[in-house]
Amino acid sequence: MQKRPLGTTGLTAPGLGCMGMSEFYGPTEDTASLATLGAALDIGYDFLDTADTYGLGHNEELLGRFLEDRRDRVVLATKFGIVRDARGSRRIDNTPAYIEAACNASLKRLRIETIDLYYCHRRNPETPLEETMGAMAKLVDSGKVRALGLSEVSPATLRAAHAIHPIAAVQSEYSLWSRAPEDGMLETCDELGVTFVAYSPLGRGFLTGAIDPKALSEGDFRKGNPRFQGEALTRNQRLADALGAFAAARGATAAQIALAWLVNKAPRVVPIPGARRATRLAENAAAVDLVLSSDEIAELDALFSNDAVAGARYAAGGTAGIEVL
């Protein structure tokens, strides 16, 4: 797999999103997740992405077990800012006191001394950006964090934050059916030398054609997602079917084409597809080296135009802290 830099930090990646190993996409099992992580590292996925909110700390604890004798082989990213509890309450906290406490808690769960890439998961405008960035910069100065990132921010916030302290990466949802980063963010990242990390690059699994949205298990986040319901689902299914036909004509899978579209679109994009089973890892890895022509990219762009995709990215209440929808 080709590797791409994370800003100017010297860190490199292809990436694996680990959220689904703890919650949101149905039942999980730690033994299987640890086996998948091992297989991912063997294939070349040395950039692992987590957050303190995934599984209310469980995902970091899982990775802490995995990293115990592999720390020097992994670039580890985690995030702070979304504060949840078992009762379902949710708030966004960017205050300096919380940032320090959250970092210390993440380090303990991960069983490491330094986080390679530390993101502000969501922005709370009630805390001035200067205070948030100042607290994050102190973590770098203390050696607890190597590089800083932001998630789901606007180009203006990225510019302002980068002027305070260098930002290595911005993470947002980006895929064939979520194109908001093309409205200024990718250009801003290119200008500033910031890597763009694309989460949910397979449309939460929908673009693979391998899931049945009507058969999702209880507790699966996607059951309440607007794009997986009603008329929106019907319209989006036509797009997924067309992607499958496009992929078949290229001798590839739909997942491979969706990932190849991302890495062929821009040189600073690093997708972090999730995988809970090792069987998908090699398929996704091969996509990073798949070359699409400019005509093929244009065809996919037109197929998944903003007008063609139906439904919002999140249900009401799930957009707190997201600056660009």
37 contacts: CB under 8 Å, gap ≥ 6: 16, 18, 21, 48, 63, 66
Contact 79, 127 (CB under 8 A): no
Instruction: Report H helices in 150-222.
Output: 155-164, 185-192
Q: What are the distances in angstroms from CA 215 to CA 203, 211, 219, 309?
A: 17, 8, 12, 21
CB atoms within 10 A of CB 191: 12
Q: How far is CA 147 from CA 10, 131, 318, in A?
A: 10, 17, 27
Distant-in-sequence, close-in-space partners of 215: CB < 8 Å, separation ≥ 6: none
Check the CA dihedral 64-82-262-250 and report its sign: positive
Q: What is d(CA 207, CA 205) in angstroms, rounded to the nearest whole number?
A: 6
54 is catalytic: yes
69: tokens are 């004798």
306 burial level (CB within 10 Å; 0-12, 13-18, 19+): exposed
Active-site choice (45, 54, 119, 174): 54
- Residue 9 CA: distances (Å) to CA of 78, 80, 135, 166: 16, 20, 19, 10
Residues designated as active site? 54
